[in-house]
Amino acid sequence: MKLVLAFLCCLMAAFVSNTVAVAEELPGTWHAQFETFAGVQTYHFQFDLKDGSAKASAVVEMNDEKREVMFTDVKVDSNMLTFVEQRKLQDREIRIDYSCKLTDDGLSVSRKVGDFGTVETKAFRKLPDAPPATPPAPAVEVRIDHLIKDVFQNEFLIGMAGDVPARYSETELAAATKHFNAVTPENCMKPERVHSAEDRWQFETSDALVEWAQANRMSIHGHTLVWHSQTPQWFFDNADRAVATQRMKDHIHTLVGRYKGKLQSWDVVNEAINDGGNDETAKTEGLRNSPWLQAMGPEYLTLAFRFAHEADPDATLYYNDYNIESGPKHASSMVLLKRLLSEGAPVHAVGIQGHWRTGSVPFDDIDKAISDYASLGLKVSITELDVTIRGASGGQFGGGQRAGRNQSPASAEDLARQAEDYAKLFAIFRKHKDAIERVTFWGLHDRRTWRFGQHPLILDANSQPKPAYAAIVNDK
């Protein structure tokens, strides 16, 4: 008993010591820099811990702009300080969670931005050097003989993803129209963005995208109508099968109908198949236990395609998913597609998302998967292409795949390996040019990407071609 009491006393002493250390060492001003989609942001944190309460605020600088932040939910736990920043970006409320821990060489700060991933940095008492006006120059000089959209103009479309033109610079918009002839809205047509409540539609951003794309003679691919993620809960509240079906129908008819004749294609159902799997699940459709499946059963996919076809009979309709080029998930996709076609669902094409990683791209599987889908009479697109230099890939939304990004520049060796993989991929796509409709990069350049920090695209953060671009187009 005495040993137990002694152990508890030691634990309590350590806790009190850590809490005292935080109270003594943390208050005051700390400076930290974060790489973000928009550029480098410098946070000047101010912490105030006294009288049993904790407060946190910051002045944030980026380029010539400043904003003040008063953080909420400020908590001290042992030697950890946590707090929350609420921001509104593109009509969406974003929660940013911070955790700060004292270390021997400064303050470790973790910044988790909604579902978009976590970045870690160090904060110091000393004001950091001002960030460079532009990102570092590419590690190697790149020469391109042709524009990628021109190289493949007789074979398939070359696209980019983004909610253009909102919040894009003139330089970025010029790069988009220079290199690409197709565009996919990255977020603005997803259910939570465009239809946040049953009686509320928000078309401003999507209307602007359609107008911009038409003015620049770019093909438009709609993304996405039915998905288990980024879909408001109101679709399923107090909904039996009939109510859920009617809500789906109204949503699809309204959205697809609004852009009838303006959009060439749609991702109708997105990511309906479970991850992983085995030999047994490979014999089945392996459907994800999504709210749509719970509310309507497996027929929800068939109905979604029928509703989309009713709204725009001329649009090409896609089933879209990640990792469906390999293993049990590919087998399940074939089972699912055969069932949909047998039921008369107007499925016209399959979207292989294409979130891969340098050094582990499944080239043989991709080659075979395209052939398999074409054998069903379906067209194929690579809908969300990126090849990361570091970190895991996949397509899981909001998963751990995006955490802990490495922000260091890509080396010449990194870029060369990435270029080799991109060249091999486009050789496969060209081989299947009769089946491939479109290859879309998921983002515009290495700063405008959900895999920021992993250098996944063919344009660098300055919208300049990388070795991967040259490997695809030169001497073609």
Enumerate the active-site residues. Answer: 271, 384
Nearest one of 186, 225, 229 to 209, comparing CA atoms: 186
**Range 48-51 contact pairs with CB under 8 angstroms and sequence separation of 24 or more:** 49/22, 49/23, 49/76, 50/23
Please give the distance of CA 77 from its chain centroid, rounded to a whole number.
32
Do 271 and 320 touch, CB atoms closer than 8 A? yes
Element (H, E) at 24: helix 2-25
Sign of CA dihedral 180, 181, 186, 187: positive
Q: How many CA atoms lie within 13 A of 311 on its CB side?
A: 28
Residue 138, token pair as written in the block: 């590419």
CA gap 179, 156 in Å, rounded: 14
At 46, which amino acid appears?
A: Q
CA gap 46, 80 in Å, rounded: 15
Looking at residue 233, the DSSP 8-state letter turns out to be G
What distances in angstroms separate CA 124 from CA 25, 26, 64, 105, one per listed residue?
Answer: 12, 11, 22, 9
Residue 245, token pair as written in the block: 């079906």
Nearest one of 443, 470, 438 to 218, comparing CA atoms: 438
CA gap 115, 92 in Å, rounded: 12
